[in-house]
Amino acid sequence: MGFLSKLFGRRGEAIVVDGEVVTLRNAEVARSIVRPSAANFALEEMKEPCGGCGAQLREAFITTGGELGDPKVWRDHPVAVDGWACVSCGVFRYPRKIDPARIHELTEEGAALGRAGDYTAAELRFCRIVWNWPGYFLGHLNYAEATRTRLHSEKIDDRLVERRLSQRMIEQYEAALEAYVATPTPRLIAGVVRASFATIEDAIANRAIDRASRLLHQVLQLADLPEEDRHELERLRVYISEGRWRFQEAAKVLMPYLHLQGRPNAPIPSGEVRKALVTAMDSLTELVADAPSFPEPTWLLAKAKECLGDQQGALATFRAAHAQHPTFEPVAKDFSLILLEKDEIEEALAVNRAITSSCPSAESYCNLAVTELLGGDLEAAQAALAKSLALDPNDKIANAVQSRLAKYRAGAKLPRTIRELERG
């Protein structure tokens, strides 16, 4: 007696037979059913008898899904393949030869079920296609799409289960891409594009950078790729090649501790957290050198130095960032603020005048108004403030500055520093 038959003997519900449908309801049994790596386009009959009892194997549809299946077993161990079985001995042979008409029929059934919102039944059809015909582009693509629908439609509280389903979706997208690369069919390119972005973005999100680079290279070689999609994929290629994903990793560590307008920063503890901040800053320093056209890392590095108390280092980094990226508004805003804190009014004026010229916004005009006020030019301050309020009449800071400015225009002593202005 084989392993499966012993298991069936212990657990009566491990397998259910309904006509030609053999439903496996046990996870341990399902794990033993290995997905085929190649389709069978020749064998229609199984003449080899069961190795256990010598009986003739019967045609069967072997699955963990369907009405008789256990939903959790199907979710975790999807099996759907046409073959032969000796249920009493637990012997299975598969896949069986399936003609194109039946594959087309399953595709149509799956698509109709998906449109009707029955994504589980649709998933079963597409799973059956890829088990019977491994390497069939539409089968893998549709299976991935059905699993994607499951992820979006089904409330999944278990993160491990969610990740397992996501990995299955990505595996099917990758299999679809491999099938297309092997036999390109231009009319299917829209599906290739969808599969490409899903797999590449998943690889980037999981920091599988080598995999993302390999997939990008593979897809960019396709001659029939639409130009707009090629452009977007090229953007992702630059993102990867310049290591811009490192910015996201550093930002995740640093952002809670930065001084940001409208949000108190978390206190910086000593020990491992401070060490992690310094490591993130070292990574940013390398990224600034590797990707000089990317402004965000320099801004984040300057803000990190500021939050760690290195004011001179922050000022020097902001100055270098502004020279490299004069039209990047976050750099101009924070650079001008640190200049005002150090009473460098003239340089702050130059920075704010330039940014309102290249990137006019309510915030940049408000910052210019404050700087003009500290420079003693009340008319220029009023003109800048009017532009700020025209863009955003409800801005609380601009309205507060307007109130102060009216007082100074009425003859009150002018503030000489940002600290005096803040005190009112």
For the stretch 325-364, pLDDT in tens is: 999 999 999 999 999 989 999 999 999 999 999 999 999 9
Strand residue runs (E) in 241-368: none
The reported pLDDT for the residue numbered 268 is 78
The reported pLDDT for the residue numbered 257 is 87
Name the band, by pLDDT with cuts 50, 70 and 90, for residue 296: very high
Locate tokens 């996201």: which residue? 248
Length reported for the chain: 424
| Sequence-ordered alpha helix ranges (H) in 80-226 | 100-115, 119-132, 137-153, 159-182, 189-205, 209-220
pLDDT tens readout for residues 74-93? 999 999 999 999 988 889 99
pLDDT tens readout for residues 184-222? 999 999 999 999 999 998 888 888 888 999 999 989 988
State how far Cα 256 lies from the chain centre. Answer: 21
| Sequence-ordered alpha helix ranges (H) in 64-118 | 71-76, 100-115
- pLDDT for residue 49 is more than 50: yes
Locate tokens 């500055």: which residue? 401
Nearest Cα to Cα of residue 134 among 34, 273, 246: 34
Give the C-alpha separation, 371 to 369, whole Å.
5
Rounded to a whole number of angstroms, the distance between the first and last alpha carbons of the chain is: 91
Give the C-alpha separation, 223 to 145, whole Å.
24
Mean pLDDT of all residues belonging to the chain: 89
Whether the Cβ atoms of residue 353 and residue 345 lie closer than 8 Å to each other: no
Please enumerate in sequence order all residues whose Cβ is within 8 A of that of 3, keeping only pairs 6 or more positions apart, or say none: 32, 90
- pLDDT for residue 285 is more than 90: yes
The reported pLDDT for the residue numbered 264 is 63
The reported pLDDT for the residue numbered 293 is 86
State how far Cα 115 lies from the chain centre. Answer: 26
Name the residue type at position 138: L
Could you count the other beta carbons within 10 Å of the beta carbon of residue 210? 10
Name the band, by pLDDT with cuts 50, 70 and 90, for residue 10: very low
Q: Half-sphere exposure (CA, 13 Å, Cβ side) for 321?
A: 28
Residue 164 tokens read as 């397992």
Average pLDDT of span 92-106: 95
Name the residue type at position 293: S
Locate tokens 């005096």: which residue? 420
Give the C-alpha separation, 213 to 350, whole Å.
42
Give the C-alpha separation, 352 to 333, whole Å.
8
Give the C-alpha separation, 377 to 96, whole Å.
86
- pLDDT for residue 262 is more than 70: no
Strands 91-93 and 21-24: unpaired
Give the C-alpha separation, 76 to 161, whole Å.
8
> Over pLDDT 70: what percentage of the chain?
96
Provide the 8-state DSSP code for 270: S
Residue 395 tokens read as 């801005």
The sign of the CA dihedral 390, 391, 393, 395 is: negative
Domains and CATH numbers, the chain: 3-93 (no CATH), 100-241 (1.25.40.10), 242-325 (no CATH)
Residue 249 tokens read as 């990793």
Name the band, by pLDDT with cuts 50, 70 and 90, for residue 122: very high
Cis peptide before 292 (omega within 30 of 0): no
pLDDT tens readout for residues 154-189? 888 888 888 999 999 999 999 999 999 999 999 999
**Partners of 83 in the beta sheet?**
60
Average pLDDT of span 265-276: 81
Query: Which of the pair, 245 or 352, is modelled with greater confidence?
Result: 352
Write b or e for each residue in 25-36: b if 16 or more Cβ atoms lie within 10 A of its Cβ, otherwise e: bbeebbeebeeb
Name the band, by pLDDT with cuts 50, 70 and 90, for residue 8: very low
